[in-house]
Amino acid sequence: MPINVRIPTPLRKLTNEEELVQIDAKTISDAIAQLQSRFPGIQERLVDESGAVRRFVNVYVNEEDIRFLQNQETALKDGDEISIIPAIAGG
């Protein structure tokens, strides 16, 4: 089973409006690299020059914020679901 990635509205222009993308990756870093190879330009939207996830981007694996897991080193397994969500909401 592959890994599903939910693409937020602001990034769908890069994914030809696809909201659910399937990849095969071992970690979050790996997943971002794979997204980049399929949808060029998406990586720089998600991570800054140093490679860290941008401060206004939240990434979740199976509903848990990766900052409570191992950040970009968080391991992935088949069937996992990644959500990329703009941090600016709520309150």
Quick one: 56 or 78, whose CB is closer to other proteins?
56
Cα–Cα dist 9/78, whole Å: 25
On whether the CB atoms of residues 82 and 31 are closer than 8 A, the answer is: yes
Stretch that binds other proteins, among 20-28, 30-38, 64-72, 73-81 (CB under 8 A): 64-72
Among 24, 68, 73, 79, binds other proteins (CB under 8 A): 68
Mask of contacts with other proteins, 12-51, x by CB under 8 A?
-x-----x-------------------------x------
Among 20, 40, 62, 67, binds other proteins (CB under 8 A): 67
